């Protein structure tokens, strides 16, 4: 329905000189400083500028194929392929799909494409000058490749050193079995004439390290670690190095994420107390309960009262290759102080078992109303790569639950429930589990 309205609007916009809309016909396009003239004027739809397909092909110089029957537009540069479909608000970049604010459309039989979405996926910057109604497009020189200069090994960890670049280095790390190997692919990377690498010193995991210029144009270096036995790894990445620390798959890492922190207080309770402090106190109690567990390491996403973005929390857990992730929160609904109870959230199917276990433990620990295990698209449960759950222990806007939750004895019980669920999920010990 929406698309029909947009289409009608776009066509009427070209036919009728409405005041207010008429200005949209005067949109200018500058490509690398040069003004582009088009037979069909650019249009604005849903606050996005759409330009005729010829701007993309001729002015920007990309290879464009338009299939009338499938209504598909294929746009290619040296390393990327984009696909768009008329009237579908979706763009595919090298097969990966993402959403568009506005769909490509036909206007007077001309194919109009959302310029920002197309350009930003093709090494091109796009700016909009509202005063002059000008779309400013500049092609960006691709970053020169970095050089892998040396590989160092120390015990069960090793470091790949390379030259600096402006963007974080692109990498893909995965394991292969039969025989056990760890593979690190470094994007836009070339080998130094001589990569320095001392001979491997005696250790539990690393038998040998090999490297090659795996691909040229785009350049990719592949480093292969021949392993003596299966291993898990944690990653530390800097501007000019990546370090991998190997560990036994038996050694589990749990990330506890005390929600909010620093400038972000989280919810404000009915008596004006901050959610972030409650989350922190509970997290500390969980750490205390688990820190002496053999083969288990507990890591916190933040130190005391600091602000850490959601994406950095996810990256922290993913780089550790943690086995489990638990985000601790408390709920709030100021308009409904009567609402109370415990909720546990998950996003990916592989997280449901853990979410269910921790929820059962929380119900027993809190005695609060069961508001169920629920699905939600929270970033920390969606983008983490290990089973992940987010708990909302109770409602800070309900005076009964608020008073209980700030009581240290109550927090201890909640922490014991969380610790029991973690041990149950990871099959560590049996004490404290509830059936
Ligand atoms: Zn929260």
Cα(272) to centroid(ligand 1), Å: 15
Cα(273) to ligand 1 centroid in Å equals 13
Residue 148 confidence (pLDDT): 97
Ligand 1: centre distance to CA 421 (Å): 20
How many angstroms separate the alpha carbon of residue 432 from the centre of ligand 1?
27
Distance, CA 254 to ligand 1 centroid (Å)?
Answer: 20
Query: How close is the Cα of 52 to the center of ligand 1, in Å?
Result: 45
Q: Rounded to the nearest 5°, which phi and psi values hold at 128?
A: -125, 120
Instruction: Tell how far the Cα of 426 is from the centroid of ligand 1, in angstroms.
Output: 25
Distance CA 257, CA 91 (A): 34
Kindly report the number of other CB atoms within 10 A of residue 364's CB atom: 12
Ligand 1 midpoint to CA 267 (Å): 6
Could you give the C-alpha distances from 308 to 56, 239, 312, 318, in angstroms and in order?
39, 20, 6, 15
CA of 21 to the centre of ligand 1 (A): 43
CA–CA distance, 306 with 262 (Å, rounded to integer): 4
How much is the pLDDT for 429? 62
32-63 exposure pattern, b = at least 16 Cβ within 10 A, e = fewer: eeeebebebbbbbbeebbbbbbbbbbebbebe
**What is the β-pairing status of strands 296-300 and 252-258?**
parallel
**Ligand 1 centroid from CA 205, angstroms:** 40
Rounded CA-CA distance 288/417 in Å is 13
- pLDDT per residue as tens digits for the range 139-173: 887 788 999 999 999 999 999 999 998 888 999 99
Rounded to an integer, what distance in angstroms lies between the CA atom of residue 295 and that of residue 292?
A: 9
Distance of CA 27 to the CA centre of its chain: 35
Contacts 24+ apart (CB under 8 A), 422-425: 422/254, 422/286, 422/290, 422/324, 422/326, 422/358, 423/290, 423/293, 424/357, 424/361, 425/324, 425/353, 425/354, 425/357, 425/358, 425/387
Q: Measured between alpha carbons, how far is 302 from 259 in angstroms, rounded to an integer?
A: 9
The residues of the chain scoring below 50 in pLDDT are: 1-23, 431-435
CA of 327 to the centre of ligand 1 (A): 9
Q: How far is the CA of 276 from the centre of ligand 1 (A)?
A: 7
For ligand 1, the distance from its centroid to the CA atom of residue 282, given in whole angstroms, is 13
Q: How far is the CA of 275 from the centre of ligand 1 (A)?
A: 7
Residue 228 is given by DSSP the state S
- Quick one: pLDDT at residue 138? 87
Q: How many A from CA of 330 to the centre of ligand 1?
A: 5
Q: For residue range 354-395, what is the model confidence (pLDDT) as tens digits?
A: 999 999 999 999 999 999 999 999 999 999 999 999 999 999
Q: How far is the CA of 239 from the centre of ligand 1 (A)?
A: 32
Rounded distance from Cα 371 to ligand 1 centre (Å): 16
Residue 10: the pLDDT is 42
What is the 303 CA–ligand 1 centroid distance (Å)? 17
CB neighbourhood size of 263 (10 A)? 9
Tell how strand 63-67 and strand 72-76 pair up. antiparallel
CB count within 10 Å of CB 24 equals 18
- Model's pTM, two decimal places? 0.71
How far, in Å, is the centroid of ligand 1 from the Cα of 361? 20
Q: Say how many Å lie between the CA of residue 350 and the centre of ligand 1.
A: 23
Neighbours of 401 (CB within 10 A): 25
Between the CA of 36 and the centroid of ligand 1 the distance, in Å, is 49
Contact 222, 184 (CB under 8 A): yes
Nearest by Cα to 119 from 26, 250, 31, 40:
31
158, 244 Cβ separation under 8 angstroms = yes
The predicted pLDDT at position 8 comes to 41
247 CA distance to ligand 1 centroid (A)? 33
List beta partners, residue 100: none
Q: What are the beta bridge partners of residue 184? A: 173, 223
The residue with tokens 């009581």 is 407
| Residues by chain with Cβ below 5 Å of ion ligand 1 | 259, 266, 329
Taking the CA atoms of 112, 113, 119 and 122 in sequence, report the sign of the dihedral they define. Answer: negative
């Amino acid at each position: 329905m929406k698309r029909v309205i947009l289409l009608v609007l776009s066509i009427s916009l070209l036919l009728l000189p409405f005041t207010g809309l008429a200005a949209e016909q005067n949109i200018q396009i500058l490509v690398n400083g040069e003004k582009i003239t088009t037979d069909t004027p650019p249009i604005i739809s849903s606050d996005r500028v759409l330009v005729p397909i010829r701007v993309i092909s001729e002015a920007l110089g990309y290879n464009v194929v338009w299939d009338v029957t499938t209504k598909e537009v294929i746009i290619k540069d040296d390393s990327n392929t984009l696909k768009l479909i008329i009237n579908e608000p979706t763009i595919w970049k090298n097969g990966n799909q993402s959403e568009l604010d506005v769909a490509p459309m036909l206007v007077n039989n001309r194919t109009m494409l959302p310029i920002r979405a197309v350009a930003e996926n093709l090494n091109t910057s796009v700016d909009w000058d509202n005063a002059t109604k000008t779309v400013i497009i500049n092609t960006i020189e691709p970053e020169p490749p970095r050089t892998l200069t040396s590989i160092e090994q120390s015990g069960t960890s090793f470091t790949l050193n390379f030259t600096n670049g402006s963007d974080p280095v692109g990498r893909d790390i995965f394991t292969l079995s039969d025989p056990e190997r760890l593979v690190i692919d470094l994007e836009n990377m070339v080998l130094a004439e001589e990569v320095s690498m001392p001979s491997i010193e005696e250790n539990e995991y690393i038998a040998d390290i090999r490297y090659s210029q795996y691909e040229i144009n785009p350049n990719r270096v592949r480093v292969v670690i021949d392993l003596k036995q299966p291993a898990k790894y944690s990653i530390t990445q800097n501007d000019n190095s990546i370090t991998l620390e190997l560990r036994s798959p038996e050694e589990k890492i749990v990330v506890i994420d005390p929600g909010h922190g620093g400038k972000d207080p989280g919810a404000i309770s009915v008596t004006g107390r901050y959610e972030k402090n409650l989350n922190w106190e509970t997290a500390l109690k969980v750490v205390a309960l688990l820190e002496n567990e053999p083969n288990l390491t507990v890591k916190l996403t933040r130190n005391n009262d600091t602000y850490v973005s959601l994406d950095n929390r996810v990256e922290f857990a993913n780089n550790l290759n943690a086995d489990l992730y638990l985000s601790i929160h408390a709920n709030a609904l100021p308009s409904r102080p009567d609402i109370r109870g415990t909720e546990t959230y998950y996003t990916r199917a592989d997280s449901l078992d853990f979410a269910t276990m921790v929820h059962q433990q929380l119900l027993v620990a809190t005695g609060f109303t069961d508001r169920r295990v629920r699905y939600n698209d929270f970033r920390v449960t969606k983008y983490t790569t290990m089973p992940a759950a987010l708990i909302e222990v109770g409602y800070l806007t309900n005076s009964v639950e608020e008073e209980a939750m700030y009581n240290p004895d109550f927090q201890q019980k909640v922490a014991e429930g969380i610790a029991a669920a973690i041990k149950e999920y990871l099959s560590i010990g049996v004490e404290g589990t509830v059936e």
